Amino acid sequence: MQHWPRLLVAAFVVVLAAVPLAAPQFWVTLGNYIGLYSIAALGLVLLTGVAGQTSFGQAAFVGLGAYTSAYLTTHYGTSPWLTLAIGLALTAFVALCLGFITLRMKGHYLPLATIAWGISLFYVFGNLEILGGHTGMTGIPALSVAGIDLKNERHYYFLIWIIVLAALWATRNLLDSRPGRAVRALKGGLDMVEAFGVDAARLKIVVFVYAALLACISGWLYAHLQRFVNPTPFGINQGIEYLFMAVVGGAGSVWGAVLGATVITLLKQVLQDILPSLLGQQGNFELIVFGILMVLLLQFARDGLWPWIQRMLPRPRMPPVPDAAPLPARERSRVSGELLSVRKARKQFGGLVAVSDLSFEIREGEILGLIGPNGAGKSTTFALISGALALTSGEVLLRGESIGSRPPYEIARRGIGRTFQHVKLIATMSVLDNVAIGAYLRGATGVVQAALKLDRAEEARTKAEAARAIVRVGLAEHTFDAAGSLPLGKQRIVEIARALACDPALLLLDEPAAGLRYLEKQELARLLRSLKAEGMTILLVEHDMDFVMGLTDRLVVMDFGEKLAEGAPAEIQRDPAVLEAYLGGVA
Amino acid sequence: MDLTIAALLTQDGVTNGAIYALLALALVLVFTVTRVIFVPSGEFVAWGTLTLAGLQLGKAPGIVGLLVGMAVVAGAMEAWRALRAGEARRLPRALALWCGIPFVVALLLWQLAPLSLPLPIQVLLALAAVTALGPLLYRVAYQPLAEASVLVLLIVSVALHFAMVGFGLWFFGAEGSRTPAFSSASFTVGAANVSVQSLLVIATSVALIGALALFFGRTLYGKALRATAVNRAGARLCGISPEFAGALTFALAALLCAFCGVLIGPITTIYYDSGFLISLKGFVGAIIGGLASYPVAAGGSLLVGLIESFSSFWASAFKEVIVFTLIIPVLLWRSLTTHHHEEEE
């Protein structure tokens, strides 16, 4: 039954449409507010639930949208549709500035900055006479669509919910696309996404701006629904409530936004009726319940309520990935010679020299093993090549071009694909989606195209490319399984498939055999040999001597940050210096 | 503006700045040891003032009930954990700690409130009540999530801020309170009129900061907290329990916040929801220090106090806007000086 989700959405839309036709005024009003809150909360679902960032400034962006339209329509008689565009431009500018300043730093600076910004804007609204001060502005004109005046709340309801559904649709599209996969992967660590060419800081700013724009639309709708604005609904408390909606609903799914907005709005309604009479005082006592509810939810059900509902829904069966033309591929150079050369590379951590003036090169089409005892500097060398660490001095050249100390996403762009020693897959995403992250650099779809579903041709090719990489490494039967459900050995193979999907000239493998069983190691060796036969160049950092000896063309042995020996595996096995380092001079 | 006004504003700014500095130290302490961004600190400040104001009126404030309620929850959580781990013999000590101390504080407060005791004793009572809440809050709300991300802990903090504002309204009502000044004396230095109250506030802050420095530099517990801040896993391997470190940190932070409340009470009228803005000013100071450096955080707080005081003279309606917009250039500067990617945890 692959059509279940569509049927459910259709049923939801029918129920939605029935509300203004049949329900009493009270429910229509409530429905309008739930719709407005859903739009703002949807932005936070994307920002908090998916991208792992958070903002308390959502209400301030709602206010920016509302006040822009209120001011321009009442003072200059500007058309509300034009003020929407102006509001969006203004919001995008502010969000870009805030994002640029905070998102390059640790995750907690953005929320703190948004608290400060939310409070500042609240006081600006409240103290500027031209914005009506604390009393606000009245006389905002009603919207009219195709000649129909939307003065009646029942009519306005349709506009709000059409926009909610459109926002849900666009956000869902976005999540299932090239930029969306990268956003979902942000939680897996910046190292990982950057290794596949994603500029993580830029992407986080884009998501923050997207969330702010949704908030702005919500505010614009609010202003023309109420036809009156004052600062109160845009204060920091409302900003916090938006975040609560996203967390209660379930910050990982677009439907969580609607669910969270509904639950919080209805709960607030009920609590405001009950609590004051219960406590014998007037006041916002629902704050107490919301606060305690949130703490309990975070302690016991951090993913919110949506996953509970999702478990009750039937799961659609996934159709096989249809074949499609390959994505543009890198030109393979057929010249043999050096592909990558490390020249006098040096890395110091304070007084500790982890890698000391190391030089070696990797030739086209070979498997080079980098081995050495614990603490020899292998992983540091790997990090210097992949760009995870900056060189203290020396050079790393890829086909003669210096790539040392460049950010990982630029190194990935030049054709280096890598795996991680500690597997970095997104556990909840399917194997297919995980591998498709590898193909990020081979696509060009941007956020707008993705949201409007204009990326289907490229998306089909990306999925087909990922599916081919999965078949190539022999995991076809796991294509749609959640990556986290596979055993470690297979997860390592998924990492290789993901690296292959980026069509690398050089494959860097960081201890791929660690933790594998004997048979899994043999599988892996067979896979690497077949990749070499297809012309792939591979650098293997490894611990397991048996594995390395049978597989590699040449070995570089490191000890104490320096090169101890270099040569064919058979030579290395007889090298006295190597025996000394490994066996402590017994030989 | 003439010299007299400038001197007056400076005095105000330094006095407030000294209070924000105490708060900023509490915030840096809590963040470095537990990774919690302690947003509800503001409510601890407000409750310090309001509890003292309640005692002045001879009323045992509602905080007594909350102390008892949270102690019962904390005790139940400890009992559940001890029974599940099969360590029932450790239970009496845990119960004495988690229920006994709060019960004693609550009983004292309840019995002594109507007696109209002298101000210093009432101050001690208010400090004890608010301080006792700190570890309880950590035990009940944060400790079960100690391994969660900074982001989750931040959302918990904001949720607790919400809940505490609601409780504050319930316990203390919507009217604001001021506590009596410790001294109404003043003297003149050149063009400036210096109030003894301001000097007292500054002296208390400096003394507390000095005491903290001694605590961290000289005592085993202080060193244990510093070790936990540097490396939680390592500290744990050395036998420092992260739960203990967390509870101790929250006790210290709550004490500092309560002091802030007592010091700020005679200067400003405090309402049940005044805490948030106060704590955010502490945060601006703490962020200037990168949520890591104590001296820079204290200096930053002093700056916040001065900017606030001078902007209240020039553009009183926009004083909050000016103070909070200050955070933007600070963050920009930090962002530009942060070279490498800072990974979460």
ipTM confidence score: 0.90
- A33 vs A514, more confident: A33
CB atoms within 10 A of CB A450: 23
In chain A, the percentage of residues whose pLDDT exceeds 70 is 97
In chain A, the percentage of residues whose pLDDT exceeds 90 is 41
Which residue is associated with the tokens 């530009």? Answer: B336
- B142 vs A311, more confident: B142
The arithmetic mean of pLDDT across residues A285-294, rounded, is 90
Measured CA to CA, the distance from residue A567 to residue A565 in angstroms comes to 7
Going by pLDDT thresholds of 50, 70 and 90, the confidence category of residue B340 is very low
Residue A400 has pLDDT above 90, yes or no: no
CA dist A434 → A236, A257, A271 (Å)? 37, 25, 43
Query: Which of A190, A247, A281 lies at the smallest CB-CB distance from B155?
Result: A247
The arithmetic mean of pLDDT across residues B156-171, rounded, is 93
Residue B27 has pLDDT above 70, yes or no: yes
pLDDT of res. B89: 83
What is the total count of domains within chain B? Answer: 1
Measured CA to CA, the distance from residue A46 to residue A256 in angstroms comes to 10
Query: Which of B173, B287, B340 lies at the smallest CB-CB distance from A112?
Result: B287
Residue A329 has pLDDT above 80, yes or no: no
pLDDT of res. A314: 75
**Least confidently predicted of A249-258, A275-284, A412-421:** A275-284
Going by pLDDT thresholds of 50, 70 and 90, the confidence category of residue A496 is very high
Residue B341 has pLDDT above 50, yes or no: no
Terminal-residue alpha carbon distance, chain A: 67
Residues β-bridged to residue A361: A341
**Least confidently predicted of A111-115, A187-191, A408-412, B71-75:** A187-191
Residue B197 has pLDDT above 60, yes or no: yes
pLDDT of res. A251: 65
Query: Is residue B19 in a domain?
Result: no
Closest CA in chain A for residue B163 = A288
Going by pLDDT thresholds of 50, 70 and 90, the confidence category of residue B343 is very low
> And the tokens for B53?
């104001």
Going by pLDDT thresholds of 50, 70 and 90, the confidence category of residue B342 is very low
Query: Which of B174, B280, B287 lies at the smallest CB-CB distance from A283?
Result: B174
CA dist A244 → A54, A57, A262, A292, B225 (Å)? 11, 13, 12, 11, 32
Surface of A (44-73) touching B: CB under 8 A: 48, 52-54, 56
Q: Give me the amino acid identity at B275.
A: G
Going by pLDDT thresholds of 50, 70 and 90, the confidence category of residue A334 is low
Contact call for B334 and A105, based on CB within 8 A: yes
Query: Is residue B122 in a domain?
Result: yes
Tens digit of each residue's pLDDT (9 = 90 or more) over A227-245: 999 999 999 999 999 999 9
The C-alpha angle B167, B169, B171, rounded to 5 degrees, equals 65
pLDDT of res. A514: 83
SS (H, E, C) A422-488: CCCCCCCCEHHHHHHHHCHHHCCCCHHHHHCCCCHHHHHHHHHHHHHHHHHCCCHHHCCCEHHHCCH
Tens digit of each residue's pLDDT (9 = 90 or more) over B215-272: 888 888 888 888 888 888 888 888 888 888 999 999 999 999 999 999 999 988 999 9
Query: Is residue B60 in a domain?
Result: yes
Residue A158 has pLDDT above 60, yes or no: yes
Residues β-bridged to residue A362: A340
> And the tokens for A293?
């509810």
> Which of B77, B326, B341, B343 would you mutate first to test chain A, the one with the most A CBs within 10 A?
B341
Query: Is residue B339 in a domain?
Result: no
pLDDT of res. A585: 55
Query: Is residue B5 in a domain?
Result: no
- A476 vs A106, more confident: A476
Query: Is residue B45 in a domain?
Result: yes
Give the gap in angstroms from C-alpha B297 to the nearest C-alpha of chain A.
Answer: 16
> And the tokens for A362?
């990797």
The arithmetic mean of pLDDT across residues A494-522, rounded, is 89
The C-alpha angle A50, A55, A60, rounded to 5 degrees, equals 130
If you write DSSP's letter for every residue of B112-148 in order, what string do you get?
HGGG---HHHHHHHHHHHHHHHHHHHIIIIIGGGTTS
Residue B335 has pLDDT above 80, yes or no: no
* Best CA proximity match to B252, nearest among B5, B9, B81, B28: B28
Tens digit of each residue's pLDDT (9 = 90 or more) over A412-436: 888 899 999 888 998 888 999 999 9
Residue B157 has pLDDT above 50, yes or no: yes
A474 close contact with B: CB closer than 8 A? no
Tens digit of each residue's pLDDT (9 = 90 or more) over B54-89: 998 888 778 898 999 999 999 999 999 888 888 888
The arithmetic mean of pLDDT across residues A198-222, rounded, is 93
pLDDT of res. B345: 36
Q: Which domain holds residue B226?
A: 30-181+190-272
Tens digit of each residue's pLDDT (9 = 90 or more) over B273-313: 999 999 999 998 998 888 888 888 899 999 999 999 999 88
Residues β-bridged to residue A229: A137
Contact call for B320 and A117, based on CB within 8 A: no
Going by pLDDT thresholds of 50, 70 and 90, the confidence category of residue A212 is very high
pLDDT of res. A328: 79
Residue A587 has pLDDT above 60, yes or no: no
Contacts of A536 by beta carbon, 8 Å cutoff, 6+ apart: A365, A504, A507
pLDDT of res. A332: 66
What residues of chain A lie within 8 A of the CB of B145, using their CB?
298-299
Query: Which of B145, B343, B344 lies at the smallest CB-CB distance from A298?
Result: B145
The arithmetic mean of pLDDT across residues A78-85, rounded, is 93
What residues of chain B lie within 8 A of the CB of A240, using their CB?
158, 161-162
Give the gap in angstroms from C-alpha A571 to the nearest C-alpha of chain B.
Answer: 41
Residue B265 CB-density burial (10 A; 0-12 exposed, 13-18 middle, 19+ buried) = buried
Instruction: Provide the mean pLDDT of chain A.
Output: 88
pLDDT of res. B338: 63
Q: Which CATH number applies to A336-415+504-587?
A: 3.40.50.300
Query: Is residue B321 in a domain?
Result: no
What residues of chain A lie within 8 A of the CB of B80, using their CB?
none
The arithmetic mean of pLDDT across residues B101-118, rounded, is 89
Find the length of chain A. 587
A320-323 contacts, C-beta under 8 A, 24 or more apart: A321/A432, A321/A463, A321/A464, A321/A466, A321/A467, A321/A479, A322/A460, A322/A464, A323/A464
Classified by CATH at the fold level, domain A4-312 comes out as: ABC transporter involved in vitamin B12 uptake, BtuC (1.10.3470)
Q: Where are the beta strands (DSSP E) in A51-143?
A: 137-138
Surface of A (268-287) touching B: CB under 8 A: 279, 281, 283-287
Query: Is residue B310 in a domain?
Result: no
Give the gap in angstroms from C-alpha B62 to the nearest C-alpha of chain A.
Answer: 13
Query: Which of A54, A191, A240 lies at the smallest CB-CB distance from B151?
Result: A54
Measured CA to CA, the distance from residue A243 to residue A234 in angstroms comes to 13
pLDDT of res. A534: 85
Tens digit of each residue's pLDDT (9 = 90 or more) over A513-559: 888 888 888 888 999 999 898 888 999 998 788 888 888 999 999 98
Measured CA to CA, the distance from residue B45 to residue B258 in angstroms comes to 5
